[in-house]
Structure formats: C-alpha cells, structure tokens
Homo-oligomer: A and B are copies of this chain.
Amino acid sequence: MTPGPRRPRADAARNRQRLLDAAVEVFGESGIDVPMSEVARRAGVGIATLARNFPAREDLIAATFSASMTAYADTAAAAAADPEPWRAFCGFIEYVCRIPRRDRGFGQVLTTMFPGVEALESERQRGLREFIRLVRRAKEAGGLRPDFSPHDLPLIMLATGGVTRAGAPALAVAADRLIGYLLQACAAGNTGPLPGLPPPRELYRALEISRPG
C-alpha cells in the first residue's frame, strides 16, 4: 500500500507558517501583486523556500485568504439572520466596502474570480447565497428598493474598491461618503428606473483573473 503523505519536518512547517504570516502582512499592505521576493524577505526565508511551498502566486493567495473568505461568508450569514434586515443590509455593505481599506489584498481577491481555486470560490458562493437571502428579507421588510439585484454587490465592491485602491487615508474618508450615496440610492424611497445588469454569468466572467488574451 502507498505510504501516504508523511509528516513534514518541524522546521519546514515553521517556515511555511512564517510565509503565510508574512503574506497576510504584505498582501494586506500592498496588494496581491507585490513581488514574491518581498514576501520571502519579510518571512525571513529564501525565495526558493517560498517557491517550493507555493509554486504559483495563486497558491499563496488561496492559502492566505481562504480564512478571510470564510469570515466574509460568515458575516453575510449573520446579516441574513439579523432581525432587522435593512439595518443588517446597510451594515453588511459598509463592512464589505471597508474591507479593502483594512486589507488591500483581500479587497482585490473579493473582486477577482479565481476559477481554479475551490477554497476561495466555494466560500465566495456561500457568501453570495447568504447575501441573496439578506436582500430578499430586506425587500420584504420594506427598507430596500425592489429592483435592487444581489448581483449589484460586485458593482458596489468595484466602485468603492476603485476609490480605496490608491491607499491614501484621505480616500478612505471619501469612500465612506460614497457608501453613503450608494446606500441612500438603495433605499426603498427611490423609485426611478435603473439601467439593467448584464447576465450574471457574463458579469462574473468579466471578473476572472488573468484573461488569456
């Protein structure tokens, strides 16, 4: 019978953890496009060790952010279960829009589809399912305008992410104001017609990473 994967050496496991810790810091501060060597440097290991543990950048991204994505989906679930759906909706939107300010890398991950990374995509989908529930309840409760679509969420993420991206503190303040505008636009009082959304498949397709041009 095959011996199965043996336990890694203690120092190897330690280095792997150091790399993950460093990735959380570096991706959080500078985004997921930062040079891999910077992650290795911050972790205090050689570049080869990083490459051995995470051959592709996506591997490191997946390992670094799968916990964050789970927390995101959990937050959506909590909001969907909130007894005050409209307040929960506003709170969730604020939470989502402030993510790129705290963690630039995760902000990018949230608005990027990684079709090959199951650990991220399954949790992202769970988050979306919970958000759909939240939207339904917020409409029923009367706070949210009826023509709001759950697929407006990536739009809102992209919009506020575009403001936050530059990473200056002044823009963080400005992003809050944008959230204010958007939430007021989402309120049930607004009844003007809205341009339609593209089919969700196309929308999410457009967000996939590294289009093989």
Residues of A that sit less than 8 Å from B by CB: 152, 154-155, 158-163, 165-166, 168-171, 173-174, 176-182, 184-187, 189-190, 192-199, 202-203, 205-207, 211
User: A158-B163, A173-B196 known; 9 other A-B pairs, CB under 8 Å?
Assistant: A159-B160, A159-B178, A169-B206, A173-B198, A177-B197, A180-B194, A180-B195, A181-B186, A184-B185
**Chain B's nearest CB lies how many Å from the CB of A68?**
20
What copy number does this chain have within its complex? 2
Residues of B within 8 A of A205 (CB): 168, 170
Residues of B within 8 A of A199 (CB): 170
Pairs A–B under 8 Å by Cβ, sample size 12: A155-B178, A159-B162, A159-B178, A170-B198, A170-B205, A171-B203, A173-B198, A174-B203, A177-B194, A181-B186, A181-B194, A190-B190
Are A203 and B158 interface neighbours, CB within 8 A? no
Q: A198 CA to B173 CA in the complex, in Å?
A: 6
